[in-house]
Amino acid sequence: MQFEFSTAGKIIFGPGTLSEAGPAAASVGRRAFVVSGVDMEMARPVVSVLTSSKVTAVVFKAVGEPTTNMVNEAVEAARGISCDVVVGFGGGSAIDLAKAVSALLTNGGQLLDYLEVVGNGKKLERPSAPCIAIPTTAGTGAEVTKNAVLLSPEHKVKVSLRSPFLLPQVAIIDPQLTYTLPPETTAACGLDALTQLMEAFVTAKANPLTDALCREGMARAARSLKKVFDDGSDAAAREDMCVASHFSGLALANAGLGAVHGIAGPFGGMFSKAPHGAVCGRLLPFVFEVNVKALRERGEDKQTIRKYDEIAAILTGKKTSKAVSAVKWVKKISEAFSLPPLGTYGMTEADVPALMEKSMNASSMKGNPVVLTEDELRGILLQAM
């Protein structure tokens, strides 16, 4: 057995830990460039914490998912204030944008030099500027991942800036910041976290450390996702979902993902207004079902099939549950959240061939525990549509 594990330089978790952002920023700089994906009024707490530690804060609002153009604009703005620390405050989009900005501040050239698929895929050569990541949602775990997902509008595809240098210097997870999330956002983010945990658990790169994180994360999501959707003031459930999200980021950063994200990434590039978590939740039961069937039909990897059964046992709380029970569990919770079919976002059968091609070339697809045929992939898309 051989594996590696990488994560943020320091992780701070717990209610009220936002207050740690000031001292953390002051230890590395005096001019903070704050990337916020929330309303400017909502960014006031982090600005207040920074200024109380004598750190000047300039806020850059990230509207929607980060695009390549947005990164270039943000880098120019950050250089304009001679920033020496970048703070990502918001959902995964804001944090990914902050990570990209911190990387480009210290590495020469253009963004396209370093992007996968649409760029040259050049490796970052220098450590990023200090970056502090503070999530305000419980979904992506972006505060501990080593990539930044960006939309390239001209190519209609989501691509990654990927490097160990993108791991933030400090990750602060304060569950109190998620208390005001509306139910639909809570559900979409929570399903993204659950999907990441389930996919990282069965990839070829999974290891005992990521497995432990996935088991704990799935258990917490299983008991608390519906609770926090029904009652956003449930502090214990909010904390559970923050743990699940954080553990999903730790796991995927070190074990990879699978076909759900292999499809969801390209789908988001083609239909940019589709909420990523809702798309993952819609795809999850169909991908899960096809993966298990394909593994059994091909007589491959019985250990992975046993892990799918273990997922079912964790989700249902019944030790004797088999994989089919997990499919039913996910379908039931998706119905409770009223997740729309993919066709709601504009997808038609005419889009299937292009989406299949992009999905088969996606980096996450390479982590799927079984290579899906074109017919299997087409079937997933048509069912989810």
Of all residues in the chain, the percent with pLDDT exceeding 70 is: 99
- CATH 3.40.50.1970 applies to domain 10-177: yes
Contact 228, 164 (CB under 8 A): no
Contact 155, 111 (CB under 8 A): no
Q: Is 68 helix (H, G, I), strand (E, B) or coil?
A: helix
Span 296-341, pLDDT tens digits:
998 766 899 999 999 999 999 999 999 999 999 999 998 999 999 9
For 137-149, letters b (16+ CB in 10 Å) and e give bbbbbbbbbbbbb
What's the confidence (pLDDT) of residue 293? 94
What's the confidence (pLDDT) of residue 41? 78
**Angle between helices 183-202 and 259-270 in degrees, nearest 10:** 140
What's the confidence (pLDDT) of residue 42? 81
**CA angle centred on 219, ends 215 and 223, rounded to 5°:** 170
Confidence band for 50, pLDDT divided at 50, 70 and 90: very high
CA 291 – CA 108 distance, rounded (Å): 42
Span 190-220, pLDDT tens digits:
999 999 999 999 999 999 999 999 999 999 9
Span 82-95, pLDDT tens digits:
999 999 999 999 99
Residue type, 280: C
Confidence band for 346, pLDDT divided at 50, 70 and 90: very high
DSSP-assigned letters across all residues of 357-382:
HHHHTSTGGGGSSSPPPHHHHHHHHH
Residue 39, pLDDT > 70, answer no
What's the confidence (pLDDT) of residue 292? 94
Contact 117, 159 (CB under 8 A): yes
- Residue carrying the six token digits 């994180």: 213
User: What average pLDDT score do residues 149-171 get?
Assistant: 92
Confidence band for 40, pLDDT divided at 50, 70 and 90: confident
What's the confidence (pLDDT) of residue 294? 94
Greatest CA span in the chain, whole angstroms?
62
Contact 27, 50 (CB under 8 A): no
What's the confidence (pLDDT) of residue 38? 64
What's the confidence (pLDDT) of residue 37? 80
- Cα 128 to Cα 25, 171, 367, distances in angstroms: 15, 15, 27
CATH topology of domain 182-384: Dehydroquinate synthase-like, alpha domain (1.20.1090)
Residue type, 278: A
CA 266 – CA 384 distance, rounded (Å): 15
For 305-331, letters b (16+ CB in 10 Å) and e give bebbbbbbbbbbeeeebebebbbebbb
Span 239-264, pLDDT tens digits:
999 999 999 999 999 999 999 999 99
Question: Please, what is the average pLDDT of the chain?
Answer: 94
Put residue 87 in one of left, alpha, beta given phi > 0 → left and psi -120 to 50 → alpha.
beta
Confidence band for 234, pLDDT divided at 50, 70 and 90: very high
Query: Backbone phi, then psi, for 327, in 5-degree steps?
Result: -60, -45
Domain parsing of the chain, residue ranges: 10-177, 182-384
User: What average pLDDT score do residues 270-295 get?
Assistant: 93
Contact 256, 203 (CB under 8 A): yes
